[in-house]
Structure 1
Amino acid sequence: MWSLPEVRWAATATVLFAAGGILHLAGAPSWSWWGLYLACYAAGGWEPGLSGLRALRDRTLDVDLLMVVAAIGAAAIGQVFDGALLIVIFATSGALEALATKRTEDAVRGLLDLAPEQATRLGEHGEDRVPAADLAVGETILVRPGERIGADGQVIAGASAVDQAGITGESVPADKAVGDEVFAGTLNGSGVLRVRVTRPAAETVIARIVAMVREATATKAGTQLFIEKVEQRYSVVMVAATVALFAVPLLWGVPLQEALLRAMTFMIVASPCAVVLATMPPLLAAIANAGRHGVLVKSAVAMEQLGSVTQVAFDKTGTLTEGRPHVTGVHVLPGAGLDERRLLALAASAEQGSEHPLGRAVVRAARAAGLPPGQAVAFGSRPGLGVRARVEGRLVEVGSPAHLLDAGDEAAARLVDDLQRGGHTAVVTRVDGTTAGVLALADRMRPGAAEAVARLTTLTGTTPVLLTGDNPRAAHRLAGQAGITDVRAGLLPAGKVAAVRELQADGARVALVGDGVNDAPALAGAHAGIAMGRTGSDLALDTADAVITRDELSAVPAVLALARRARRLVVANLVIAFTFIAVLVAWDLFGDLPLPLGVAGHEGSTVIVGLNGLRLLRGAAWRRAAGASSV
């Protein structure tokens, strides 16, 4: 953070301003606090001033230059505190923007680390370790257990379970065999794979994710606060009016000091200090309040965007769900001679030596049911197929239906088909060569997910959408439990981006809630991105506009309701600020506004809008937002 010059200068300006304020209030000699305030001007104002001059060279009047000129004008008539405060506000805003930009860039660069730097290439002379970037289409690579796959390609030999949640969002590792597609950066399980490269390094799925995130982030970087959208016209009018108010009276013979005083008074009362504070305090107070309740909103722009959301889209795995499989049912086949507890205990005993996520889920379920796994001997594992072991003298096999079901197991086949149609993963258990039962596994929905969906439907007037890379059956099963009817499944990262753009094309302001690397491009491209903090990938956390640090889905409707209230306060504050400005400017132009009264009116409006915005700091504001999201 401190490596950024914007952060260092903003911190220096803030310290100098605080020191000057302390001396000012303590009654120290005026030269001491004046010196500190002017040093604050230099530290925080040189960069925006230089930026404004560059913009002026391009015939654009930048609001940064206007703020610096207004600050200098305030100092010229003795109101150096006002000018220093304005400098601090703008320097801090610029530092936060630079910090957010750097974090996103670092996260995008870190994403490339998912793809290994080297791969094992197979050639005429055996194995050869080469840079993954040098792999050519058609070459063959060897992927050992536990290694990350070095290229997008097709399996030509071997079988294994591959964890590709970062690419597709699937909660369960995908079984890969000859003919299946694999992706660079995904993690191989316990099998050995030979993969024929089908895409060069620059065109892999992971590389395209990087490109999409960069493109979407660059597009969103142009987003500005509402008040900044009118800055150009306001700047031109204010500067032109100040110059005219100084020059025209001089031409009519008005003394220089009188003309300068009126022009400076106009600059003070017309300067947008109250307008700036009308916008920032409500948004910053909402950010602080949300932070205390487990939601990190990264900027005032992000908070404003959250306040205008009209459609919410959810990722499934790790967002609406916990992101890992659980045993949801134990089904014993007729004639097996076992009950459900005995079947689960035998399966868990056989699986206790397995590293597969499904096997670990079976063991967890047995322990949760008070059935600690028994001793297993002669354990064996076949990647992508299952395990076998002797438990209490009986041969127990646990694995995929394709491997363990025989042609005559019609009852078991029907049961497997019914479970898979319901969106479950089916695991077959055989005992002494006979099919004994089937275990049903599925990802578990997060507590409060259905309630959060209902609250969002009430708040936005539209039912949330589910966007997932998982299979349609599992997606529809989960969506039905959560109360979501619009389901778009089987989506790769580009598909999620396309779905978000489709919703936006219909006029929706979309907030995407996700957690994985595969969600990052859509998080960046959405009107507002919200990431789950505990399970979220680094890229998702840095790309999102807000992070739910406690992974409580109830915080999503609450923060959207709080953001909407902040936007309403911004509008109210702008009305107050512009009313004060209009009255004071009219008085100065058409009457004789005393400078002390003009300063008092200007400062009064600033204090009013500032205090009004800070109301959102109170805990009651969050409770009200949480309540508003549920009615």
Structure 2
Amino acid sequence: LLGTSVWYSGVAFFLAYVAGGTPATISALKNVRLAKLDINLLMIIAALAAASVGAVRDGAILLFLFSLAGTLEKYAMGSTKRAVVALMKMRPDEANLLHPNQTTTRVAVENLMIGQLVLVRPGEKIPIDGVIKSGEGAIDQSSVTGESVPADKGPTDLVFAGTINQEAILTIKVTKLANQSTLAKMIRLVTEAQEQRSPSERFSNWFGQRYTILVLVGSVLGLIVFILLGLPLETAFYKAATLLVVASPCAVVISVPAAVLSALAAAARNGVLFKGGAALEDFGNIKIIAF
């Protein structure tokens, strides 16, 4: 039983090293080619150092936690992407183009030009930003403005793509192209939010790169000092490896982007859009909101 247990443990640790170490190794090698040292390289070296001194379990746990944090970060990014897909589904692909002879033709929303008229029947989604030329009725704007109650709209009132015409036949004059509509801007904001790093994220990346160099250099110097102090090579290497593992700042470096992306994704699911992590952090300093 003991031999079987050891065999199972060995396989589990090996799988943990492969599953947790492969993505980090690929990322680390890419950065090394660009003459950059990042937290991925530090974690791989720390895990290998732990294995070399017999602490295979510690290295496996280290890689597992590191890969788990990366997985959570990717899940948060996936939530943001799903929010983008949900926003894209809000806008119809086609619109009823109204001709001067009062006939209509189904055309792609992207082909609508400013000044053209579109006809929107009750229950249909408004395909484009515009101004009402004729017709009066309630418009469900909750998907764009967050209003819980439909807004009454009439001639000269603005309407937005993705909102729902509830009860009237409306003739709408196009005022913005499809790629310039309010909904299109919302989609771009959510997409770009992942690329706009907050001050904390920028500091985290800056800190991670420099701290990686510091820890690697410190571990090598520690190994040299331990050898000069007369410690056996195996003991000196064990102490240097311990320093390398303990000093790895993966939790600090990964926690910031994971937290920011999770917050952006959660906000997007609830209809709140932040223009990147910087805006999210600034929001925490707001004391008064005026409506």
1:520 is aligned to 273
Closer, same or farther: CA 169–249 of 1 in aligned 2, 3 Å: closer
**2:63 pairs with 1:105:** no
Q: Does 1:241 align with 2:241?
A: no
Classify the secondary structure of the residue corresponding to 1:264.
Answer: helix
Residues in 2 aligned to 1:263 and 1:136: alpha-carbon distance in whole angstroms: 71
Residue of structure 2 equivalent to 1:206: 183
Task: Look up the equivalent residue of 1:301 and give its one-letter code.
Answer: A
Instruction: Indicate if the aligned counterparts of 1:223 and 1:301 stay in contact, CA closer than 8 A.
Output: no
Q: Taking structure 1 as reference, are residues 514 and 214 closer, same or farther at Cα in structure 2, changes over 3 Å only? A: closer
Query: Are the aligned partners of 2:73 and 2:258 in contact in 1 as well (CA < 8 Å)?
Result: no
User: Counterpart in 1 of 2:131?
Assistant: 154
Where does the alignment leave 5 or more consecutive residues of structure 2 unmatched? 285-291
Map 1:105-504 to 2 at 5 A.
Answer: 105-124=81-100, 126-220=103-197, 223-224=200-201, 230-246=207-223, 258-272=232-246, 301-302=259-260
* Residue type at the aligned position of 2:84: V
SS in 2 for 1:527: helix
For residue 52 of structure 1, give the secondary structure of its aligned residue in structure 2: helix
The 3-state SS of whatever aligns with 1:142 is strand
Counterparts of 2:100 and 2:48 in 1: how far apart (Å)?
A: 75
Task: Look up the equivalent residue of 2:53 and give its one-letter code.
Answer: I
Say what the alpha-carbon RMSD is for the aligned residues: 3.6
Rounded Cα–Cα distance in structure 2 between residues aligned with 1:215 and 1:304 = 15
Contact 2:69–2:258 (Cα < 8 Å) also in 1: no
Deviation at 1:261, TM superposition (A): 3.6
Partner of 2:289: none
Q: Secondary structure at the match of 2:92?
A: coil
What residue is the counterpart of 1:453 in the other structure? none
d(CA) in 2 for partners of 1:76, 1:47: 21
Superimposed CA distance per residue, residues 298-332 of structure 1 (whole angstroms, 9 cap, x where no aligned partner) = 98625999xxxxxxxxxxxxxxxxxxxxxxxxxxx
Instruction: Note the C-alpha offset of 1:263.
Output: 2.9
TM-score by length of 1: 0.40
C-alpha distance in structure 1 between counterparts of 2:108 and 2:262, whole Å? 45
SS in 1 for 2:98: strand
Counterpart of 1:173 in structure 2: which amino acid? P
* One-letter amino acid matched to 1:160: G
Distance 1:47 1:513, change over 3 A: closer
CA deviations on 1:76-96 (whole Å, 9 max, x unpaired) are 111111101101000111111
Conserved 8 A contact 1:246-1:260:
no
CA separation of 1:123/1:304 partners in 2, compared to 1, >3 Å: closer, same or farther?
A: closer
Q: Cα 1:55–1:144, aligned 2, differ >3 Å: closer, same or farther? A: same
Match of 1:79 in 2: 55
Amino acid at match of 1:258: P
Query: What percentage of aligned pairs have identical amino acids?
Result: 30
Deviation string 1:110-140 (CA, Å, 9 cap, x unpaired) is 2011111111111146111111121111111
State whether residues 124 and 165 of structure 2, in contact with CA within 8 Å, keep that contact through their aligned partners in structure 1: yes
Amino acid at match of 1:80: V
Q: Structure 1 residue 52 and structure 2 residue 10: aligned?
A: no
Contact 1:242 1:263 in 2 (8 A): no
Question: CA contact under 8 A between 2:216 and 2:244: conserved in structure 1?
Answer: no
Q: What is the CA-CA distance between 1:275 and the residue it aligns to?
A: 5.5
Say if 2:131 and 2:175, in contact at 8 Å, map to a contact too. Answer: yes
The residue type equivalent to 1:169 in the other structure is G
Distance 2:253 2:209 in 1: 17
**CA deviations over 1:346-387 (Å, ceiling 9, x no partner):** xxxxxxxxxxxxxxxxxxxxxxxxxxxxxxxxxxxxxxxxxx
TM-score, normalised relative to structure 2: 0.81
Asked whether the equivalents of residues 144 and 183 of structure 2 are also in contact (C-alpha less than 8 Å), the reply is yes
Q: Report the secondary structure of 2:114's partner residue.
A: coil
- Conserved 8 A contact 1:209-1:521: no
Q: CA 1:28 to 1:521, structure 2 compared with 1: closer, same or farther past 3 Å?
A: same
CA offset digits 1:399-418 (Å, max 9, x no partner): xxxxxxxxxxxxxxxxxxxx
The equivalent residue for 1:477 is none
Paired residue secondary structure (1:271) = helix
Partner residue in 1 for 2:37 = 61
Amino acid corresponding to residue 520 of structure 1 in structure 2 = L
Conserved? CA contact 2:131–2:173, under 8 Å: yes
Change in 2 beyond 3 A, CA 1:106/1:221: farther
CA distance in 1, matches of 2:123, 2:66: 50
Which whole-Å CA distance do the structure 2 matches of 1:268 and 1:515 have between them? Answer: 43
User: How has the CA–CA distance of structure 1 residues 300 and 528 changed in structure 2, closer, same or farther, with 3 Å as cutoff?
Assistant: farther
1:41-60 Cα offsets, whole Å, 9 max, x none, are: 11210110121122122222
- Contact 1:139–1:197, Cα closer than 8 Å, also in 2: yes
Structure with greater strand share of residues: 1
Is the 1:96–1:299 contact (alpha carbons within 8 Å) kept by the matching residues of 2?
no
Counterpart contact for 1:123–1:140, Cα < 8 Å: yes
- Higher alpha-carbon Rg: 1
Question: What SS class does the counterpart of residue 215 from structure 1 fall into?
Answer: helix
Query: What is the deviation of 1:167?
Result: 2.2
Contact 1:243-1:263 at 8 Å conserved across structures: no
Evaluate the alpha carbon distance shift between residue 177 and residue 225 of structure 1 in structure 2; reply closer, same or farther with a 3 A threshold: closer
Distance 1:83 1:127 in 2: 67
